[in-house]
Amino acid sequence: MAATDAPGAAAGAPIERAFTLPSRLYTEPDVLEAEKVRIFGRTWQLAARTADLARPGDFVPVELVGEPLVVVRALDGELRAFYNVCRHRAGQVALSRGNRKSLQCRYHGWTYGLDGTLRAAPEMDATEGFDTADFGLEAIRVEAWGPFVFVCLDPDAPALLEMMDSIPTEVAAAGFDVAAMTLVERRDYLVECNWKVYVDNYLEGYHIPIAHPALFRELDYDAYRVDTFRYHSRSHAPIRELRDGEELGRDRRYVRSADGEEDALYYWLFPNVMFNIYPDNMSMNLVLPLSAERTLTIFEWYFAQPGTGPGWESMQQTVAFSDQIQHEDIEICEQVQRGLRSRSYDRGRFSARRENGVHHFQSLVTEFLG
């Protein structure tokens, strides 16, 4: 019996019996096209930052896995989002960020209000049955959480806060004011792998002893665990305290205050965004497929009081720490992608002790792909 025909390989099989996703899901362009519709088209996608949409009239064009979109702060103060596609002959109504009372297509000048209505369409008076009311910009859903603006192309998907489930209340209950945090640094990393290779890797600590020896020294590996929920998971990766005889700077590089570490929250939200929240800062990782075997990962660091206070040093440390780990992960992910292309490999098995987060993600992928 081939591995893919094994009874335990069925979608939704428990981790003890499950197989990993077949390798073609990580290599074939057709699969990514299906994922754009069924996964990225049906979930909340982080598209912009509230800081870029603070004033009425602010607008930000966004490309979401191939779909041109525009997010605006309308004149009534509400966030709105539309397909960035003119209803005439499909020009784009916003080419760069800006602040305006209306959006004008750069092709023939049709002009739309920030509520999406078509306000002016020159020389259309001789066109029979043409009513501007029928040709407004097509609206999409938009919601904000903290400093982030999300959009969703699916009118039937659950609301953002419903999909985020306990994340916002846990974050608020822990006393973190994420809405007040400011973007300080952004780094983009190009990774030659399928986007799911990167997400799989993020969702387990199983590789830490081998792939991240420096990180392994810092962590309480036995206490590392991942809790899974409907559309998100939460990792517990406590940094261990100094042992007797260990010296900061010699044996250990990254020791944070015991307070901060106990309180750190690490979230992944299906399908492609992670939030790592500390008392004085937060990092966000966004995973964007560029093609079936190429992925852009965006790291952003937000800080409660940029440029002030003792947190500044820990911020620099956090950025350097993430950067080192990220380079180790990129190397692993690119190796894995080459392995997935091998004719010798199709599916593997999970460590039922250590890879429940990966199994959870792959089960959601299977569910959404149908």
* Of 263, 239, 301, 295, nearest in space to 175 by CA: 263
Residues 6+ apart with CB under 8 A from 196: 21, 25, 26, 361, 362, 365
With CB under 5 to 8 Å by kind, the binding choice for 338 among Fe ion, ligand FES, none is none
Selected from 44, 82, 110, 148, the binder of ligand FES by CB under 6 A is 110
* Of 78, 79, 75, 110, nearest in space to 94 by CA: 110
Q: Is 204 in the site for Fe ion (CB under 5 A)?
A: no
Whether the link from the prior residue into 271 is cis, omega within 30° of 0, is yes
Count, residues near ligand FES per rule CB under 6 A: 10
Q: Is 89 in the site for ligand FES (CB under 6 A)?
A: yes
Cα–Cα distance between 52 and 98 in angstroms, integer? Answer: 9
Site string for ligand FES, 303-342 (x = CB under 6 A): ----------------------------------------
Question: Least CB distance from residue 70 to ligand FES, whole Å?
Answer: 13
Question: Least CB distance from residue 87 to ligand FES, whole Å?
Answer: 8
Supply 359's token pair. Answer: 């199994």
Q: Is 329 in the site for Fe ion (CB under 5 A)?
A: yes
Residues 6+ apart with CB under 8 A from 291: 29, 32
Cα–Cα distance between 180 and 200 in angstroms, integer? Answer: 31
Place of tokens 């990966």: 358
Q: Is 130 in the site for ligand FES (CB under 6 A)?
A: no
Cα–Cα distance between 342 and 262 in angstroms, integer? Answer: 42
Question: Least CB distance from residue 6 to ligand FES, whole Å?
Answer: 53
The three-class DSSP label of residue 43 is coil
Q: Is 118 in the site for ligand FES (CB under 6 A)?
A: no
Tell me if 198 sits within 8 A of 298, measured CB to CB. Answer: no
Selected from 108, 225, 240, 253, the binder of ligand FES by CB under 6 A is 108
Question: Least CB distance from residue 109 to ligand FES, whole Å?
Answer: 6
What DSSP designation does 275 have? E
Question: Residue 198: in which H helix or E strand, if any?
Answer: helix 195-202
Q: Is 101 in the site for ligand FES (CB under 6 A)?
A: no
Selected from 100, 101, 107, 352, the binder of ligand FES by CB under 6 A is 107
Tell me if 237 sits within 8 A of 218, measured CB to CB. Answer: no
Residue nearer to Fe ion on the CB measure, 262 or 331: 331
Tell me if 269 sits within 8 A of 162, measured CB to CB. Answer: no
Residue nearer to Fe ion on the CB measure, 300 or 329: 329
Question: Least CB distance from residue 67 to ligand FES, whole Å?
Answer: 17
Q: Is 200 in the site for Fe ion (CB under 5 A)?
A: no
What's the one-letter identity of residue 107? Y
Sign of dihedral through CA atoms 146, 148, 151, 156? Answer: negative
Site string for ligand FES, 223-252 (x = CB under 6 A): ------------------------------
Q: Is 88 in the site for ligand FES (CB under 6 A)?
A: yes
Q: Is 86 in the site for ligand FES (CB under 6 A)?
A: yes
With CB under 5 to 8 Å by kind, the binding choice for 329 among ligand FES, Fe ion, none is Fe ion
Cα–Cα distance between 81 and 141 in angstroms, integer? Answer: 7
Q: Is 119 in the site for ligand FES (CB under 6 A)?
A: no
Contact window for ligand FES (CB under 6 A) among 106-114, 152-160, 209-217, 228-236: 106-114
Supply 29's token pair. Answer: 């362009």
What DSSP designation does 52 have? G
Residue numbers of the site for Fe ion (CB under 5 A)? Answer: 329
Residue numbers of the site for ligand FES (CB under 6 A)? Answer: 86, 88-91, 105, 107-110
